[in-house]
């Protein structure tokens, strides 16, 4: 009688592992799809956790390992430092945008007229453009249309912001809720990921440390530079009596997140227009302040706060930031340099561990 064991199917552990890994990947993808609507809230919760984690550790050591209290106090400090001032400025920004839209609708502002004044004041530029067969008339129409569309967007969103207050605060509450647990349990989550990922514990700790380092440097550095440049731009606009100083200050703050060009996209055209209408003193003051103060902030602070800590070349920071904006929107000024830093870190590990020169055999 043949042995019954011979009739049983042979176990295929490789098939079981493959099936499990496929199911693991499928479930993970489905879970990420579920989280996609909350990507912004979760992403900024992670950033808040990374930035304020050193403060959490200090409070935890001072208060005798009371993790809940330390996390709550850290989160409160983050709200008071970052979120409350941002909401105030954003509300004022929308109000000024609505006012700008009203002035454009009434004909009080005409960007085509401003360009015409510049053409008349600088005939050399006009002649040069004519030699190149370039016509500024379409540019005038496009600029007027873009200004009207942008101001209309701000005006509509000023109303929409009030209507969507509940949704906004739900997202804000979700971000703070997730940030609380990331502060309190962040270390355990990192250790769990180190055990789970099959990249080697040493490499994983190096990558997590690089991720945290670049995230802190990018957010703190870029935001500090942007806020300083935008504030300086708004102040000089207010001193010179340029309408909408707060609005243009916020716009310069947002543009300052882009390295190299940044705030110059706003103050430089305004300075040219001041020269065109004959306000040479104000034009010289704005130009000198823009180049010598606003530009100096970017040239001094950004390499110190961003380039040094991320250990990335300036051109990599610029390209990754611009690419991040193009792909991820406003979150791109953080996501772009993070991806670039991880790209560099992975290749450094590869060169060091997988492509190192072979040592010659010893006799």
Distance CA 172, CA 42 (A): 10
Arithmetic mean of pLDDT, 257-274? 80
49-54 average pLDDT score: 88
The closest of 43, 325, 333 to 171, measured between CA atoms, is: 43
pLDDT band at 27 (very low <50, low <70, confident <90, very high): very high
Question: Please, is 139 exposed, middle or buried when counting C-beta atoms within 10 Å of its C-beta (0-12, 13-18, 19+)?
Answer: middle
Distance between CA atoms of residues 347 and 203, nearest Å: 12
Whether the CB-CB separation of 332 and 324 falls below 8 Å is answered with: yes
CA 6 vs CA 1, 10, 271: distances in Å: 11, 9, 90
C-beta separation of 306 from 217 below 8 A? yes
Instruction: Quote the Cα angle for 344-350-351, to 5°.
Output: 90
Residue whose C-alpha is closest to residue 212's, from 338, 312, 331, 58: 338
Phi, psi (degrees; rounded to nearest 5) at 62: -75, -30
Q: Is 240 helix (H, G, I), strand (E, B) or coil?
A: coil
Angle between helices 264-276 and 201-239 (to 10 degrees): 20
Mean pLDDT computed over every residue of the chain: 77
Range ranked top by mean pLDDT from 134-148, 278-292, 304-318, 342-356 = 278-292
Q: Which residue has the tokens 């009596």?
A: 241
Q: How confident is the model at residue 205 (pLDDT cuts 50, 70, 90)?
A: confident
Q: What is the mean pLDDT of residues 128-148?
A: 56
User: 338 or 260, which is more confident?
Assistant: 338
At residue 93, φ and ψ (nearest 5 deg) are: -60, -45
Q: What region, left, alpha or beta, does residue 76 occupy, with left being phi > 0 and alpha being psi -120 to 50 degrees?
A: alpha
- Run of H or E residues at 297: helix 295-302
Q: What are phi and psi of 296, to 5 degrees?
A: -65, -35
* 62 or 164, which is more confident: 62
pLDDT band, residue 30 (cuts 50/70/90): very high
Burial of 311 (0-12, 13-18, 19+ CB in 10 A): middle
Q: What CA–CA distance (Å, rounded) separates 305 from 214?
A: 11
Residue 260 has pLDDT above 70, yes or no: no
332-353 vs 39-62: helix axis angle to the nearest 10? 70
Three-class DSSP labels, 73-89 = HHHHHHHHHHHHHHHHH
CA 79 to chain centroid? 18
- For residue 10, give the DSSP letter: P
Give the residue, 136 or 274, on which the prediction is more confident: 274
pLDDT at 363 over 50: no
């Amino acid at each position: 009688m043949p042995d019954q064991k011979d009739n049983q199917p042979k176990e295929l552990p490789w098939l079981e592992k493959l099936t499990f890994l496929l199911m693991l990947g499928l479930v993970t993808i489905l879970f990420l799809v579920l989280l996609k609507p909350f990507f912004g809230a979760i992403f900024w919760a992670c950033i808040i956790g990374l930035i304020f984690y050193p403060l959490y550790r200090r409070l935890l050591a001072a208060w005798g390992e009371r993790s809940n209290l330390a996390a709550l106090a850290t989160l409160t400090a983050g709200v008071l430092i970052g979120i409350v001032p941002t909401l105030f400025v954003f509300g004022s920004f929308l109000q000024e945008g609505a006012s700008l839209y009203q002035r454009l609708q009434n004909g009080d502002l005409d960007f085509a007229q401003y360009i015409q004044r510049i053409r008349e004041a600088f005939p050399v530029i006009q002649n040069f453009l004519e030699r190149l067969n370039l016509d500024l008339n379409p540019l005038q129409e496009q600029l007027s249309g873009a200004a009207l569309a942008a101001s209309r967007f701000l005006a509509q969103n000023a109303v929409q912001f009030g209507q969507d207050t509940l949704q906004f605060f739900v997202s804000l509450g979700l971000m703070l809720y997730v940030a609380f647990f990331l502060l309190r349990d962040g270390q355990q989550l990192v250790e769990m990921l180190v055990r789970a990922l099959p990249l080697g514990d040493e490499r994983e700790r190096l990558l997590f440390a690089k991720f945290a380092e670049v995230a802190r440097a990018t957010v703190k550095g870029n935001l500090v530079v942007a806020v300083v440049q935008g504030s300086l731009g708004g102040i000089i606009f207010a001193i010179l009596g340029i309408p909408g100083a707060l609005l243009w200050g916020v716009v310069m703050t947002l543009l300052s997140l882009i390295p190299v060009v940044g705030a110059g996209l706003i103050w430089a055209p305004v300075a040219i227009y001041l020269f065109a209408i004959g306000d040479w003193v104000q034009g010289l003051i704005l130009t000198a302040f823009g180049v010598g103060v606003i530009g100096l902030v970017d040239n001094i602070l950004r390499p110190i706060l961003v380039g040094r800590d991320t250990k990335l070349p300036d051109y990599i920071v610029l390209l990754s930031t611009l690419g991040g904006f193009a792909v991820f929107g406003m979150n791109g000024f953080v996501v772009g340099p993070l991806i670039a830093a991880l790209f560099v870190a992975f290749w450094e590990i590869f060169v060091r561990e997988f492509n190192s020169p072979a040592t010659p055999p010893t006799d």
